[in-house]
Amino acid sequence: MDATSHLHDVRASAASLGASQSIVLGTSLLAYLVFKRYEPKSTSVIAALLLGVPAMLSTVLYQTSSHLSDAIVTSYTAYWSLLLLFTALYRLSPFHPLATFPGPIPARVSKLWITKIMYRGKVHLHYRELHKQYGDVVRIGPNELSICNADAVYPVLGAKGLKKGPFYTTRQQPNGTTSLLNIVDPVEHAARRRTWNRAMNSAALKDYEDIVKSKVNELMECLAQRQSQVIDISDWMSYFGFDFMGRMAFGKDFGMLRTGSDNQGVWHMIEKGTKAFSVVSYLPWLAKFLTLLPQGSNPIAVLRRIANENVMHRIHSGSQSRDLFHYLMDEDGIEPTKPSLPIVMSDGLLAIIAGSDTTSTALSHLWYFLIRNPNVYKRLRQEVDAVFPPGDDPLDFKKHVDMEYLNACINETLRLLPPVLDGVQRSTWDSEAQVFGSIVVPPNTAVAVSTYSLHRDARNFTPLPDTFWPDRWLVQDDYILPTGQKIQSSQLIHNRNAFIPFSFGPANCVGKNLAVMELRAVTCSYIQKFDMNVAGGYDLDSWEDSILDYGVTSRGHLLVHLKARY
């Protein structure tokens, strides 16, 4: 072959290669635009775009490659790399709607970065550090902002606030139904919440009082039998929480107090399930692939199965009292139509988690703070003894309301360590831009109000925003700080608008009043009957290190030694 022919072949090969590269580049750009514009959620569509398209491109590249395997590797590598490159360039560009908001570069590019932090259970701490570094508004995702400003609470979460964000849309059950917690449409949410409101009104709470008394007394009896032992008081709060929830919601006793153990393995599955829920909430595209797992390997499916079994047990066995599902199933016939079985069952999981885990978490945190602050413990005991002398029943709910220091200790616990640490998410969806004071949030932007950061912001709670100091909840002319320093009331900053441990607005925690009733009842009974000291060898500093945030709080061990007071 002469030199001219060889040169011609080289030029032809180069032209062919250039054309192939252009096809790969153009196809990748087109696929990126499809992802950006339509955000497909169908597993088959995603698979076609991620796997099918580069498979077809490999046939194009094979024309310029001597081996099919080389063409396949090159096609997939180039296609996926270009998708990632286009995505990163746009999200970091000045053309992105959130370009003017500060935040770490990895968070602007992908949710994978914040998901990794969430998976370690420390996202609430991370958000606070971000706000310290960047200010009130931080870009924590490609299309998400975190806000730490009390002025945003009402416009974001209030009656005229934003709809729930994409965090909630991934949690629908396979049949398309969803629990009250995850309903995005405000009209549908209001309709579904009517039965929950009836289940938690003052008349219903009166019906639950006997269950509270029964379970609190059972808890005290079980603890009295173990007063010579070192116990994990955090575990015992969970035993109480689950047993109470079982009776209150399903008319069923889980028997954890009686056996002193998680005899059905419910905790383990809740921890695995809530962690999985958090992962798919951060990475919605993962939800579709999780459903492909065998049911026994899918923690979300297992958690739903446990909830469904308890709902079916309640339906078939009925109840001797007006329990939670008496209202959720509308057994009084108040609603125009009965709720369907899928809707009733969808709320079973919400009842299990919200009805047990959050209360037991708050109680465990309270015991930690009381052990850590002996002067506070002593003062609370004095108030309990004054209201309920030895021999008096500490379960007089009317008296609990007026116990100022008791309620101050509970509020301060909920301020420093709310059961839901990282707050709740809302979204502007495709509405017009929303203005919150000086903050302008573009359409299709998720907005999270960081509860943990808000509660510890010195602009809302001063002095000592990170210190357990219940006195800040008392109304008086002057205050004595834990350091012994005296300050005037004018020096106290106490922004109640920034206190949202039960969230805020029409989607706030519907069980707030019941939770407070439980907290008061357990605390008064426990304080009246026992002295408590940290167990020898237990590192009290490990408690806060053990706290993990997966939507609800996962806790470690809190080892104490109990002694009967009388």
- Asked if pLDDT for residue 307 goes beyond 90, the answer is no
CATH number, span 180-460+495-564: 1.10.630.10
Residue 131's pLDDT is 97
For CA atoms 478, 481, 483, 487, the dihedral sign is negative
In the Cβ-directed half-sphere of 344, how many Cα atoms lie within 13 Å? 22
Q: Which range has the worst mean pLDDT, 58-67, 355-364, 424-433, 481-490?
A: 58-67
Average pLDDT estimate for 13-24: 66
* pLDDT in the model for residue 12: 43
Dist. CA 551–CA 371, nearest whole Å: 26
Q: Which residues pair with 424 in a beta bridge?
A: 449
Strand, helix or coil for residue 554: strand
Contact 469, 482 (CB under 8 A): yes
d(CA 143, CA 425): 12
Q: Provide CB contacts within 8 A for 265, sequence distance 6+.
A: none
For 109-168, the pLDDT digits (tens) are 999 989 999 999 999 999 999 999 999 999 999 999 999 999 999 999 999 899 999 888
pLDDT value, residue 60: 81
In this prediction, residues 277-284 reach a mean pLDDT of 79
Q: What is the mean pLDDT of residues 464-484?
A: 96
Percentage of residues in the chain with pLDDT exceeding 70?
Answer: 93
Which residues have a Cβ under 8 Å from the Cβ of 464 and sit 6 or more positions away?
A: 481, 482
For residues 221 and 512, give the distance between their C-alpha atoms in angstroms, rounded to a whole number: 27
The token pair at 460 is 């809302």
Say how far residue 474 (Cα) sits from the centre of its chain: 30
The whole-number pLDDT of residue 7 equals: 43
Residue 361's nearest CA partner among 498, 211, 550 is 550
From the number of C-beta atoms within 10 Å of its C-beta (0-12, 13-18, 19+), residue 99 rates as middle
Instruction: Report which DSSP code applies to 28.
Output: H
- Domains of the chain, residue spans: 8-92, 180-460+495-564
Mean residue pLDDT across the chain = 89
For residue 13, pLDDT beyond 60: no
Contact between 162 and 447 (Cβ < 8 Å): yes
In the block, residue with structure tokens 């057994």: 331
Rounded Cα distance, 400 and 204, in Å: 18
Rounded distance, CA 426 to CA 421, Å? 16
Q: Are 551 and 278 in contact (CB under 8 A)?
A: yes
Asked whether the CA dihedral 432, 127, 37, 290 is positive or negative, the reply is negative
Q: Is 360 in contact with 350 (CB distance < 8 Å)?
A: no
Mean pLDDT to the nearest integer, 434-444: 86
> Does this model's pTM top 0.75?
yes
Q: Pick the range with the lowest mean pLDDT from 68-82, 127-141, 233-247, 525-539.
A: 68-82
Residue scoring higher pLDDT (543 or 290): 543
Tell me how far apart the alpha carbons of residues 237 and 245 are, in angstroms, rounded to a whole number: 12
* Interval 36-73: pLDDT, tens: 887 787 778 888 999 999 998 888 887 776 688 888 99
CA-based angle 217:220:226, to the nearest 5? Answer: 150
